[in-house]
Amino acid sequence: MDVSAWLEQLGLGEYAAAFAANHVDAATLHQLTADDLREIGVGSVGHRRRLLDAIAQLKAAAPTAEAATALDTERRPVAVLFADLCGFTALSRDLPDERLHALLDGYLTAADTIVKRHGGMVDKHIGDAVMALFGAPLAHDDDVVRAVRAALELRARMPALSGELGRELAMHAGLTVGEVIVGGSGGGYTAVGETVNLAARLTALAPAGEIFVSEPVRRTLTGRAMFEARGRHALKGFAEPVDVWRLSGLVDRDAAEPTPFVGRGAELAQIAALVESCRARCAGAVIYVRGEPGIGKSRLVGETRALAVASGIACHVCHVLDFGAGHERDPLRRLADSLLGLVPDSVPAVRAAAVAGVVAAAAVEPRLEAFLRELAEAPLTPGLRGLIDASDEASRRAGRHEAMAMLVERALADSPLLLVVEDLHWADAALVEALLRVSRIATDRPLILALTSRPENERLYEALRLQPGGAPLATIDLGPLRAQDAVAIVGHVARLPEAIQQRCIERAGGNPLFLEQLLRNAAEVAGELPPSLRGLIVARVDRLGAADRAAIHAAAVLGQRFDIAALRAVVVNPAYVADRLLQAGLLRADGMELVFAHALICEAVQRSLLAQPRRVLHGRAAAWFAGRDPILRASHLDRAESPEAADAYRVAAEDRLQRYRPAEALPLAARGLELAAEPASRAALLLLKGDVLLDGGRAREALAAYQEMLQVGGDDRSRSLALLGSASARRILDDLPTALDDVAAAQGLAEKGGWLDIQARCRFTRGNLCFPQGRVEECLVEHEAALDLAERAGSAEAKARALGGLGDAEYARGRLVTCGAHFQRCVEESRRIGLGRVEVSNLPMYAHTLLFALRLDEAIAVARESVALAVAVGQKRAEMIANHACVGALLELAGYDEARLRLQRCRAIVKELEAWRFEPENLAFLADVELAEGRHDVARSLVGEGLVLARKTGMAYWGPALLAFNARLSDQADARDALVGECETLLGGNVLAHNHYLARHHLIALGRDMGDPDFIEQQCGRLSAYYCQEAMPLADFMARRGRVLAAALRGKLSREMAAEAQALRDWSARIGAVRLAAGLDA
């Protein structure tokens, strides 16, 4: 709490300096009486009354032990100190009750005073033991250090206390740090948890005069305190032995080994230039270093001090401390001590002598001497005391500032000067005013004033920035370290596996202190946030007002990034503004959103919430996201442990699936299944899981999900949908007979229920199953029925799918103009009503029809568009078919390199989907590429492998084309004749139409290779006959080209045939068809 700001809010800012001069901090403010206020200088009765009323309100609202029963119970990191008298049982026997009571009261009073002075809270007395908490109900940045200092001071106090109480006394203590539950319990504020129990056990284990600490304390204070190992001990109540350490003492912060100085070269270079300018040209400056806790402000200032010392510049340092450490830590007085050559425990006589030396050397007038003595805490003569008593508060304040300025000027007479003041975010108004006065000296003198602060209190910075004619101001904002710089810290702090190092670097987010603590605790906490870091963050939260504390808790529930409207909804305060959270550096603005300044802040605040309050906040968040974000709604319902969570995950997964994100939908459905308790809910989620897996190309897993759903139950409509899903999965896996059985069962349920939309899907799915089997007429009948049912049901999606199915049926029977029109209409309709899933399935087939129409440039453009769309939505089967369309066009355009790459992708998809029916097609196309590039033997091997596989997966799909290709490449007449015979037999039956032009293409090439014009003309006639119902330009070109080749082989190329050859050459040149034109020039 800023006492000066509090006074300003009351309209009593004129007393700020008086409160500061009398060392009234937030801890002592609550204890002020009317007499205290009068002594401070508050002469007005009305002002005293207003102050006392305001103090009473602070007491009522303050999170102290006295008001703890009103606090919410919470989880937080706390340092727990137990300290009791040794041999108290013997004392109880030896001393009368009254004497024993007085002795115990004296010890406990001394212990309580020490604990409170260091910012701790006395939790309770247990016989002769005191239990103290550091970090609750209010946390500080250094609670573990405070606890250690309190324990050491209590131990040091024992000899004097023994003298006062007339009995030789000794204490022993146990100290640990960790997570506890704190709050009102049994009518008082207390902490419970394993950490409390461990502190008590350590106390019992410690010999007289010793302080035993736990391993987490040692890790937290590595480099800042001295410890001696006391081995591992089995302690009552703990399953595993505990590492125990003896506390020897604290290490001076300047003597502690620093971490490597990395990543701040540019900033140090800027400071070095200012230091050199100060030394060489007597030019002063103010350096203001800002950044979040742990970012490296003190480390940079430490390097600044080293530069100054090396340049012959005298250095003086002070720290502004958080409240709870007493007035003896006042920064302005400590700075004066340093300038006078004093130390904090200098006795009054030494202080008086130091001041006298200054007065004698500088001929200081009595008025200024009085304020100099007050500043140095030197004894005042009656006359000098009278001068101070006669001054009003404004004059006193100005006098102290003038005395400080005089000390600085005196030091500058000997050498250039560096004054370092750290942690200005704790500064009150009086200190800000004093430093502003000192900064003016740097305008024309060799003085560098180096200041560090967090971004949450920048009154001095603003004053410096706006000060006219002031010293040059260099502002250095420290951001996160780069990852490569953080590596140097890793090597210095700990040797850990590389994976753990990388994890710590990522979590630290470029904060050196965070990284150091994560590394020191990496092996023990296994991903948990160390108590030292949590304490640092909780301390920042504790300094917020009640509304802002509630808001930061709500923000943590919302996550790393959120908008203000969501935050207002969760805190149930439509007018809430987050200015204080931004000023405190806990959040930052990013466009229209708010973001936690560091991920670990969010993590620490989340951890502090207990289960029930967290559930409530998640429930509010879920309500806010309803209708806005189904995934976040489901996630928050899950964390709220709501029974609605399972169905919410289903809705979220459906949303992802509709947006063509099956990979994102799957974990949502899986989480829903983990939570679902009711059979109906599980059935719906299993059906959805099957749809997601099928959409993602994982047919075998999809089939398992559908089958599980059918066993769970569900209503008939859901069961019919699961059967259709099962049939679709079996189609991909080439289990066509069982797939047809599934469709029959689904159709029976749909007809029973009267669901026309599902009946349409049944007929559509059956048509799709007929397609690869070459059952052309059945395929057409089924898709015509699907279209009729879709129109009767009024289902736009079913209608669009049926149009695609009709396209497949017409494709299967060779009516490629009609099928192209169906596919084009299907794509246009899908785009019109936003059915991207239907579009992505049918656009590749439209590309195929453009290839058959010899619109090669359009075909390859649409095919490439199809590939991109399929990749974008994760539809691998559609991606493969689109790549096949690309390859067909590329073969005609001689784009063999691209064709090869696309076929490699197709083969990978086949393996991933287990869609082996398409592998013969891949091998045939790949053989085309090899043959075009002159690798005859490789091509023969590929088509041989393709034929073997086609015989396993079904010859109706690509069998005749492969038989003809094998015949073309065979060098054995008998085998060739057998292959041609089998091919003709299949072409006379039920096979897909593309086999007719592909097989005739290879057989025409075979006839040319054999020099058999009659065979060529036979093939051309059969090709034309098949496609006579609807003209197909590709087949027409092939037949006409074949006849020209046959005439040339006979040596009878008539004028008409020569003109035909030229016309075909011109046609192929117009469309860029290289392969089609092969042989026409000859």
Closest CA to 1013 of 1057, 1056, 963, 1075: 1057
Closest CA to 434 of 392, 476, 375: 375
Closest CA to 608 of 551, 532, 556, 540: 556
How crowded is the C-beta side of 679, counted as CA atoms within 13 Å? 9
For residue 258, the model assigns a pLDDT of 66
For residue 1036, the model assigns a pLDDT of 94
The alpha helices in 578-678, defined as continuous H runs, are 579-583, 599-608, 611-625, 630-639, 645-658, 662-675
Residue 325 has pLDDT above 90, yes or no: no
Domain region containing 242? 68-250
For residue 362, the model assigns a pLDDT of 77
Give the pLDDT band of residue 70 (cuts 50, 70, 90): very low
Burial class (CB in 10 A: 0-12, 13-18, 19+), 750: buried
What 541-549 contacts at long range (C-beta under 8 Å, 24+ apart), as own/partner pairs, is: 541/139, 541/586, 541/605, 541/608, 542/63, 542/137, 542/138, 542/139, 543/1, 543/584, 544/580, 544/581, 544/584, 545/580, 546/61, 547/571, 547/573, 547/576, 548/580, 548/581, 548/584
Residue 1064 has pLDDT above 80, yes or no: yes
pLDDT digit string, tens, across residues 903-948: 999 999 999 988 898 999 999 999 999 999 999 999 999 999 999 9
Give the pLDDT band of residue 71 (cuts 50, 70, 90): very low
Please state the rounded mean pLDDT for residues 302-322. 88
Which residue is listed with tokens 């395929």? 779
Tokens of 236: 């009552």
CATH of the domain at 174: 3.30.70.1230
2-16, 60-74, 105-119, 433-447: which has the minimum mean pLDDT?
A: 60-74
Give the pLDDT band of residue 194 (cuts 50, 70, 90): very high
Please state the rounded mean pLDDT for residues 67-90. 77
How crowded is the C-beta side of 1062, counted as CA atoms within 13 Å? 7
CATH of the domain at 36: 1.10.150.50
pLDDT digit string, tens, across residues 816-841: 889 999 999 999 988 888 888 789 99
Give the pLDDT band of residue 324 (cuts 50, 70, 90): very low
For residue 846, the model assigns a pLDDT of 94
For residue 416, the model assigns a pLDDT of 93
CATH of the domain at 375: 3.40.50.300
User: Above pLDDT 70, what percent of the chain?
Assistant: 95
Residue 957's alpha-carbon distances to 182, 811, 899, 946, in angstroms, are 72, 12, 21, 12
- For residue 8, the SS3 value is helix
Give the pLDDT band of residue 253 (cuts 50, 70, 90): low
524 and 462 share a domain?
A: no
CB distance 836 to 660 below 8 Å: yes
Residue 53 has pLDDT above 60, yes or no: yes
| DSSP sequence for 973-1027 | HHHHHHHHHHHHHHHTSS--THHHHHHHHHHHHHHHHHT-HHHHHHHHHHHHHHT
User: Above pLDDT 90, what percent of the chain?
Assistant: 49
CA 499 – CA 982 distance, rounded (Å): 61
CB distance 404 to 336 below 8 Å: yes
pLDDT digit string, tens, across residues 536-555: 788 888 888 889 999 999 99
Residue 529 has pLDDT above 80, yes or no: no
CA 630 – CA 566 distance, rounded (Å): 14
379 and 491 share a domain?
A: no
343 and 325 share a domain?
A: yes
838: in domain: no
For residue 517, the model assigns a pLDDT of 73
Helix or strand run (H / E) with residue 812: helix 796-812
523: in domain: yes
- The dihedral over CA atoms of 713, 718, 723, 726, expressed in degrees to the nearest 10, equals -90
CB distance 1043 to 1054 below 8 Å: no
CA 1080 – CA 1082 distance, rounded (Å): 5
499 and 467 share a domain?
A: no
For residue 66, the model assigns a pLDDT of 38
Helix-helix angle 512-525:531-542, to 10 degrees: 130
Q: Which of 35-49, 524-538, 1026-1040 reaches the highest mean pLDDT?
A: 1026-1040
Tokens of 895: 């784009």
CA 251 – CA 257 distance, rounded (Å): 10
For residue 821, the model assigns a pLDDT of 93
For residue 843, the model assigns a pLDDT of 94
For residue 520, the model assigns a pLDDT of 67
697: in domain: no
471 and 496 share a domain?
A: no
Please state the rounded mean pLDDT for residues 13-37. 78
Mean pLDDT of the chain: 87
Give the pLDDT band of residue 497 (cuts 50, 70, 90): confident
Residue 582 has pLDDT above 70, yes or no: yes
Please state the rounded mean pLDDT for residues 315-343. 75
950 and 1004 share a domain?
A: yes
- The dihedral over CA atoms of 123, 127, 128, 129, expressed in degrees to the nearest 10, equals -30
892 and 1036 share a domain?
A: yes
797: in domain: no
DSSP conformation class of 222: B
401 and 525 share a domain?
A: no
398-407, 456-465, 539-548: which has the minimum mean pLDDT?
A: 456-465
- Indicate the length of the chain as a whole number: 1082
Instruction: Say which residue, 397 or 174, is predicted with more confidence.
Output: 174
Please state the rounded mean pLDDT for residues 488-494. 70
| Cβ within 8 Å of residue 61, ≥6 positions away | 67, 546
Residue 1035's alpha-carbon distances to 183, 886, 964, 1024, 1069, in angstroms, are 85, 18, 16, 7, 17
122: in domain: yes
Q: Which of 542, 566, 592 is the last residue of a domain?
A: 542
Residue 734 has pLDDT above 80, yes or no: yes
Do the bridges between strand 417-422 and strand 314-319 make them parallel or antiparallel, or are there none, so unpaired?
parallel
Which residue is listed with tokens 């006062």? 164
Burial class (CB in 10 A: 0-12, 13-18, 19+), 113: middle
482-486, 768-772, 1003-1007: which has the minimum mean pLDDT?
A: 482-486
CB distance 37 to 44 below 8 Å: no
350 and 489 share a domain?
A: no
Which residue is listed with tokens 């080439």? 734
pLDDT digit string, tens, across residues 662-704: 778 899 999 999 999 899 999 999 999 999 888 877 889 999 9
678: in domain: no
CB distance 965 to 924 below 8 Å: yes
658: in domain: no
326 and 434 share a domain?
A: yes
Q: Which of 432, 462, 477 is the last residue of a domain?
A: 477
User: How many domains does the chain divide into?
Assistant: 5
Amino acid at 220: T
280 and 323 share a domain?
A: yes
For residue 111, the model assigns a pLDDT of 93
For residue 299, the model assigns a pLDDT of 85
pLDDT digit string, tens, across residues 135-170: 988 888 889 999 999 999 999 999 988 888 778 889
703: in domain: no
370 and 442 share a domain?
A: yes
Burial class (CB in 10 A: 0-12, 13-18, 19+), 285: buried
pLDDT digit string, tens, across residues 858-902: 999 999 999 999 888 778 889 999 999 999 999 999 999 999 999
Q: Which of 250, 284, 303 is the last residue of a domain?
A: 250
